[in-house]
Amino acid sequence: MSGKRRVVAAVLVGVAAIVYGLSPIDVIPELLTGPLGLTDDVLAFVGAGFAIWKLLRGGRGAEGPDAPPAPPTAS
């Protein structure tokens, strides 16, 4: 995935999380459960934050191009 596409995808994930957080339709409604109803909103924001981080990081682990070289193995 190119850099531009990752940024667009990250923005879309962020917008979707904000729309879900502001939406009156929830998995756990706040009107019925009080503060407990905010847990699904918090989980949506945390999940979106993690997804955005992974998208902007490139979805790679420590093996990315900026990672330090692996130590030599003894043979």
Q: How far apart are CA 59 and CA 6, in angstroms?
A: 10
Q: Which stretch of DSSP H or E encloses residue 37?
A: none
Residue that wins the pLDDT comparison between 19 and 72: 19
pLDDT at 33: 86
44 neighbors 21 (Cβ within 8 angstroms) = yes
Cα angle at 65 between 63 and 69, to 5 degrees?
65
For the stretch 24-74, pLDDT in tens is 888 888 888 888 888 888 999 999 999 999 999 986 554 555 556 667 777
**23 has a pLDDT exceeding 80:** yes
* 38 Rama sector, left if φ>0, alpha if ψ -120 to 50, beta otherwise: alpha
Q: Higher pLDDT residue, 11 or 62?
A: 11
* Confidence at residue 16, expressed as pLDDT on a 0 to 100 scale: 95
| Per-residue pLDDT, 30 | 82
